[in-house]
Structure 1
């Protein structure tokens, strides 16, 4: 559990490998192997309200407090830059500065803005008071990012994924160090609450000496499965409509990038997405909920996270988007997916079908 002093003004947190601060009992920290966590540092953060001025807009001031139940975005200096970026972006919004600031947010912080008072206008604006619907997010996003699982396809049927896990387990038994096996040293294993799937397996082996062998084995299975996978309902229309409006989506995933690229080409969809596909890193510690793949895609596009949207179906993708202030739409075609996403964030925006998002794109 995270240590919190009795006065409530400070908290002790971890500085994880991508520069974020996170509570020790957060899901993303618990999913990271102990060998990786050992290299992280502890910091004490100040929870008291801070006031910022001189933000590049005459008379504008901002008060901010770190919300301890949210994942913070990074160091205080980075937070100041985020606040400045939010204000600069809002000043260009066609709906006006006040409306834009009410929609904006800096992840992990509750902000209150003070602006030069105009006749019959409020002097204070609280960020995040205007909640955009999934249709509005898609309609106004400067870039759309799509997860692969469920949104574009289901790579493995449940019974086939179990076969993959058994095959990888057999490989581990054959290729692990005999001395370690004889000494009774256990291989990494997922916790009882984790799903039995290939992505959970890969996250478990992050930082392990057999991580490369496990990744290569799963990559091979991903490539085979990609040739049989078929597009999810309405996904083809979503890709085509976005591309037709000169906003081809970017695919970001923890699956093998080569496998997803093969799926798109095999089903005639590659021309409707922005290349390349951003797949999992060779470093398994960078898989989501780490936001590495999202930051890479956004950086290559030169697009600020707050002006884009991610449509995806897993809690790992949800947490990665939240960590960098990227608006998230949860695609929940089943009750199970809906429960998982809602349990991770009670305020998550959900859609049960991509059809409504297709209609939103057509109104862009």
Structure 2
């Protein structure tokens, strides 16, 4: 939705009302991490690295063709949980994510929305499947670390806790002493929606394309925006109230 109609504005206003804590997914709502550093190439490189070690059989054909590095990582972890192999694969992915931060593209309106929400007294946290090292490096480049620190909850060695598991959301809520109903999760994938639902947190979908919007709505998201601009307007109204 573009939040242009009165009904849509009211829907977004109702979702935002009373929010004390905002849980942000990272790659999507805050930036396009792989805007200049292809996630598909990273996934292929991880699969090729496994193949070069005679481990081609660890991935199914659909997993090899997923073009999603997290699919590759989780697939190996399911078959060899907690192994040195998984730890090395995760570190390789982290290094690729760190390289990607140099060309990451900020999501339009994300920076001012983060600063404005902080200014009106909301507390913010990152709840992501990306490495927390990557998140900190990107936020530092945008001078946004003070808006979130220390509440940055990303990928750990416990890969079974990646979203759609609500682990990172629950860590954030517990650390901030926040009730789920006082929070709002902003995410751009069905796994974000499912994690928010499992944690009891209201969800706002962000979709930069019709395809992403359809995926979110088909998964059950009821409020989806294609721009953060109407959210920024609402929060600015709160600041002026």
Deviation at 1:327, TM superposition (A): 0.4
Matched, 1:255 2:140: no
Residues 191-223 of structure 1: CA deviation (Å, up to 9, x unaligned): 47x842112222222232432121111011011
Instruction: List runs of 5+ in structure 1 lacking aligned partners.
Output: 1-131
- 357 and 205 in structure 1: CA distance in 2 versus 1, 3 angstrom threshold: same
1:188-199 aligned within 5 A: 188-189=59-60, 191=62, 195-199=66-70
RMSD: 2.2
1:238 to 86, 100, 113: 113
Deviation at 1:158, TM superposition (A): 8.0
1:29-68 aligned within 5 A: none
Deviation at 1:305, TM superposition (A): 0.8
Partner of 1:201: 72
Partner of 1:357: 231
- 204 and 356 in structure 1: CA distance in 2 versus 1, 3 angstrom threshold: same
Partner of 1:116: none
Instruction: Please identify the structure whose Cα radius of gyration is greater.
Output: 1
Partner of 1:323: 198
1:271-310 aligned within 5 A: 271-310=146-185
Partners of 2:66 and 2:218 in 1: how far apart?
Answer: 15
So what's the TM-score if we normalise by structure 1? 0.58
- 309 and 282 in structure 1: CA distance in 2 versus 1, 3 angstrom threshold: same
Residues 252-276 of structure 1: CA deviation (Å, up to 9, x unaligned): 1001110011000012221222423
SS in 2 for 1:141: coil
Deviation at 1:282, TM superposition (A): 1.0
1:129-148 aligned within 5 A: 133-148=11-26
List, as ranges, runs of 4+ consecutive aligned residues in structure 1 with deviation greater than 6 Å: none
Partners of 2:192 and 2:218 in 1: how far apart?
Answer: 14
Residues 260-313 of structure 1: CA deviation (Å, up to 9, x unaligned): 110000122212224231111211111000101110011000101122110110
Matched, 1:266 2:144: no
- 160 and 341 in structure 1: CA distance in 2 versus 1, 3 angstrom threshold: same
Higher RCO, Cα 8 Å, sep 6+: 2
Partners of 1:170 and 1:325 in 2: how far apart?
Answer: 39
Partners of 2:155 and 2:173 in 1: how far apart?
Answer: 15
Partners of 2:133 and 2:159 in 1: how far apart?
Answer: 16
How many residues align structurally? 225
Q: Is the contact between residue 257 and residue 280 of structure 1 (CA under 8 Å) also seen in structure 2?
A: yes
Deviation at 1:341, TM superposition (A): 0.5
Partners of 1:267 and 1:190 in 2: how far apart?
Answer: 39
Q: Is the contact between residue 37 and residue 100 of structure 2 (CA under 8 Å) also seen in structure 1?
A: no
Deviation at 1:249, TM superposition (A): 1.6
Partners of 1:292 and 1:267 in 2: how far apart?
Answer: 27
1:64-103 aligned within 5 A: none
SS in 2 for 1:275: coil
**Which structure's residues are more often helix, by fraction?**
2
Deviation at 1:251, TM superposition (A): 1.1
So what's the TM-score if we normalise by structure 2? 0.85
